[in-house]
Amino acid sequence: MPVLAPVELLTPRLKLRWMTQADVDAHFALFSDPQVTRYLGRPAWTERAQAVEAIDKVLAHYASGEAMRLGVELRATGSLIGDAGLWRIDDANRRCDVGYSLARAHWGRGYAPEALEALLAYGFDTLGLNRIEADIDPHNTGSQRVLERLGFRKEGSMPERWIVDGVSADTAFYGLLRSYWEPRKQPAL
């Protein structure tokens, strides 16, 4: 596992930064909204304690190097509007998964691609990753649009991969290789 150092990534409108227990209320507000968790393969939270436990896990993962889940803050207000992270960081194979969620009030303004652009650059340039994967619900067209905008390619489908509240859900599997990412960094001729 890589050693993760505290991270702060700035984009024009956003700051991505390490989370702390001070983020519990905003984190709970995010994942207690069933519209946000609709395609995440788990039910919406009902207890604040679930957010406390989740952030404990985030902090443990910073220490182990397994995952780096960052809070997404609006620079204009300093409020936490979501999260974006690299998961299952596999040092030997230089790959990981990506995940992201924003509070519903902030959808449709291009914040997710803006945050991910910075996070993916960190993954490739600083962590030295070669491949970043995303497992999404094929009905989650918003997420699909975000991935395609960033250069991810659809690699396959896996039927009935998840069972949420007794209902099965499929996976659309996406990958972004360093070799797709690098040319996007070249300035236009």
Residues forming the site for ligand COA (CB under 6 A) = 36, 39-40, 100-102, 107-113, 136, 140-143, 145-146
- In this structure, are residues 144 and 158 in contact, taking their beta carbons and an 8 Å threshold? no
Tell me whether residue 4 or residue 115 sits nearer to ligand COA (CB atom).
Answer: 115
Q: How far is the CB of 36 from ligand COA (least distance, A)?
A: 5
Amino acid at 112: A
Q: How far is the CB of 32 from ligand COA (least distance, A)?
A: 13
Tell me whether residue 4 or residue 136 sits nearer to ligand COA (CB atom).
Answer: 136
By CB atoms closer than 10 A (0-12, 13-18, 19+), residue 49 is exposed
Q: Per-residue DSSP letters for 43-87?
A: PPP--HHHHHHHHHHHHHHHHHTS-EEEEEEETTT--EEEEEEEE
Q: How far is the CB of 110 from ligand COA (least distance, A)?
A: 4
Tell me whether residue 11 or residue 101 sits nearer to ligand COA (CB atom).
Answer: 101
